[in-house]
Amino acid sequence: MKNTALTRTHIAAGAKMVPFAGYNMPVSYTGINDEHAAVRKNAGVFDVSHMGEFILKGEHALDLIQRVTSNDAAKLKAGQAQYSCLPNNEGGIVDDLLVYCMEEDKVYMLVVNASNIEKDWDWISQFNSNNVEMHNISDKTGLLAVQGPNATRILQPLTEIDLMNMPYYTFAKGRFAGVDNVVISATGYTGAGGVEIYFPVETDDEDNNAVKIWNAIFEVGMADGIKPAGLGARDTLRLEMGYCLYGNDIDDTTSPLEAGLGWITKFTKDFTNCTALQEQKKAGLKRKLVGFEMVDKGIPRHDYEIADEQGAAIGIVTSGTQSPSLGKAIGMGYVNTAFASIGTPIFIRVREKLLQARVAKLPFA
Amino acid sequence: MNYPDNLRYTKDHEWVSLEGNVATIGITEFAQGELGDIVYVEVETIGKPLAAGEVFGTVEAVKTVSDLFLPVAGTITELNDALGSSPELVNSDPYGKGWMVKMTVDNPAEVESLLDASGYQSVVG
């Protein structure tokens, strides 16, 4: 199992560690509800250094990205980022990712899920017929997500980059907490605002950049009550926003259109499987990913069956939890299109019982 | 972690406190820590005779769900009502206000065969 540059720091802070995507990661420190509330109301810090980063360079870099991703990366100017996905040839999704435009038409950074680093690398490489320079910098790149309504105000003293006025899905490169070559982007997976901070690390170095930046953040944020947050809260926060988690809500078998990712599927350009996806759109979707909230008492979990009132299967739960912000159980899942409109009563099979739920508008919170 | 000497324990991380033939059951400090924030405790086996090791309910945490196993044979008579509105008592006071059920025990001597505090301590390491 791999460690991040901060694994020892997490253990020393009393984090509960779990294996995740081959990494030893903190799932919680003080409890999911506590960390969740800190991020929603104030600020929390996630070590997400397990995420993968690829640099694509050269005159054909944009062509390659356009070929493998569903969103239109040609729209990106330097300093802008976009959410996208890598469709496969069978109608599913290889991975979802962020595309950063470092230099227009020349240099891009792709940020991919930790569990898919090798798969994505191999997938993209097979389309690289024009010798785009590709670098997998995942092991040399640390990533902290500092999220919450007060995050940018708290962090501002650590950098000259204007964090507080950084538009959503833009980024800047510069010095942060005394570390150079840091990329700070106004992105995140919580819906709470804040930034994500990418920096170079050497994992075998005790006094590495990651520890330096982590300590600087807690020093400057201590008075404001900034907290470390783990993967548990990251999951409840993203689920309240209705953000897809690869491996749960989207995977090799789910269509981006069914997953509600039509907004990042641009048929104005040519990309993997675009003809079939366009036909799927024309023919109408058979199932859709929806959000739902429980009416009866019970918590939906991944892979629980979704049924109609008579108990006939109409879908499957992909994510579910007790929402810490709302104090009620919420979930996402695929249902036959006839059951996808907001307010439709559906039933979740929880331990052989059918519990009532209702299709709900996303985001939940 | 705290494992009181006056309680008996199971490998499934329940604790038992016996008075006469009435046992109080809960989950250990280790168990609540592993589960994390507990959302609710579901017990639908009140009044039904159960064997030792049978599932008597489930505990739902934010992150996960876990079955509850009856430590000894008997019949559950009562669920801790306070958990309905304050399930977090299981996290904050697992051996006190966070108790889960009371039961009448078929054979009180069976409780003696369960793990003592040091035996349980070696289970959780």
Q: Which residue of B has its CA nearest to A297?
A: B40
B63/A235 touch (CB, cutoff 8 Å), yes or no: yes
If you compute the radius of gyration of chain A from its CA atoms, what whole number of angstroms results? 21
E strands, A33-125, where?
Answer: 44-47, 52-57, 80-87, 93-103, 107-112
Q: Of the candidates A297, A301, A321, which has its C-beta nearest B40's C-beta? A: A297
Give me the pLDDT at residue A204, please.
61
Q: Of the candidates B33, B62, B65, which has its C-beta nearest A232's C-beta? A: B62
DSSP assignment, residue A166? Answer: P
Q: How far is CA A289 from CA A112, A296, A340, B15, in A?
A: 22, 21, 8, 42
Beta bridge partners of A58: none
Q: Compute the distance between CA of residue A184 and CA of residue A103 in angstroms, rounded to an integer.
A: 15
Q: Which residue of A has its CA nearest to B57?
A: A351
Beta bridge partners of B68: B57
B66 has a chain A CB within 8 A of its CB: no
pLDDT digits (tens, 9 = 90+) for A163-212: 999 999 999 999 999 999 999 999 999 999 999 999 999 766 666 899 99
Q: Provide, as residue numbers in chain A, all residues whose Cβ is less than 8 Å from the Cβ of B44.
A: none
Using the predicted structure, report yes or no on whether residue A139 has a pLDDT greater than 90: yes
pLDDT digits (tens, 9 = 90+) for A300-314: 999 999 999 999 999
Q: Which residues contact A329 (CB under 8 A, 6 or more apart)?
A: A293, A294, A297, A298, A299, A300, A320, A321, A322, A323, B39
Q: Provide, as residue numbers in chain B, all residues whose Cβ is less than 8 Å from the Cβ of A351.
A: 58
B62/A322 touch (CB, cutoff 8 Å), yes or no: yes
Write down the mean pLDDT value for chain A.
97
Q: Of the candidates A16, A301, A324, which has its C-beta nearest B65's C-beta? A: A301
Contacting B with CB below 8 Å, chain A residues are 16, 27-28, 31-33, 232, 235-236, 297-299, 301, 321-322, 324, 329, 351
Q: Compute the distance between CA of residue A112 and CA of residue B92 in angstroms, rounded to an integer.
A: 38
pLDDT digits (tens, 9 = 90+) for A2-53: 999 999 999 999 999 999 999 999 999 999 999 999 999 999 999 999 999 9
Band of pLDDT at residue A365, cut at 50, 70 and 90: confident
Cis status, amide bond into A228, omega within 30 of 0: no
Q: What mean pLDDT comes out for the span A108-123?
A: 98
pLDDT digits (tens, 9 = 90+) for B68-97: 999 999 999 999 999 999 999 999 999 999
B63/A31 touch (CB, cutoff 8 Å), yes or no: no
pLDDT digits (tens, 9 = 90+) for A42-79: 999 999 999 999 999 999 999 999 999 999 999 999 99
Give me the pLDDT at residue B125, please.
84
A236/B62 touch (CB, cutoff 8 Å), yes or no: yes
